[in-house]
Amino acid sequence: MALTGPQKTVAQTVGVVVLMGSLAWAAVPFYDWFCRVTGFGGTTGVAEVAPDEILDRTVTVRFDASKAKDMAWEFKPVERELEVRIGETGLAFYEAYNPTDRPIAGQASYNVAPYSAGGYFQKIACFCFEEQVLQPGERVEMPVTFFVDPEMVEDLEAKYVHTITLSYTFYEIDLPEGFAALDVQAETNKN
């Protein structure tokens, strides 16, 4: 059975809508994967262990902290910068403080500048891999363990990088299930 003119147009239109919807649905995970693989946009990599090779060349890693407009925490790096040899494991800490009278959950997003170094900055462990919950008045130090991949010195753009800035931005998120119940109970006890 052949489609008539109006039926063919409707079928083509539905096909285009389905195709565009599928592409839109796949765009976010594909872009995330692309950034993690290439370091595009300053996205860092994740590694289980540091490389065996440690170069004599050093790089200065600067630490930056910011928070979303509505985030009530105080958030800052413990040290502003650290000099590490390329391939060497580095350890840095950020401090977060909840000055409010309620528990607050937060999640950190991150990037690296310059972007050319993003794919070579590898995190082994980081507070940014999971959500954080701070109780009222709680202050914590949160670690990030990292290294700069020795392959960076072979990259035409990245090999001249001497300073890398690791930036985190904390956003408030919904409290996890168990914490949300405690927060509701605390509000009920106040009233």
Closest CA to 103 of 188, 187, 191: 187
Residue 70 phi, psi dihedral angles, 5° rounding:
-95, 5
Q: What is the pLDDT of residue 11?
A: 67
The mean pLDDT of the chain is: 82
Query: Where do the DSSP E strands lie in the chain?
Result: 45-46, 58-67, 74-77, 81-85, 90-97, 104-113, 121-126, 132-134, 139-148, 163-173
Residue 72 or 24, more confident: 72
Q: How is domain 58-175 classified at the CATH fold level?
A: Ctag/Cox11 (Pfam 04442) (2.60.370)
pTM for the full predicted model: 0.70
Closest CA to 76 of 174, 145, 169, 171: 169
> Is residue 56 predicted with pLDDT exceeding 70?
yes
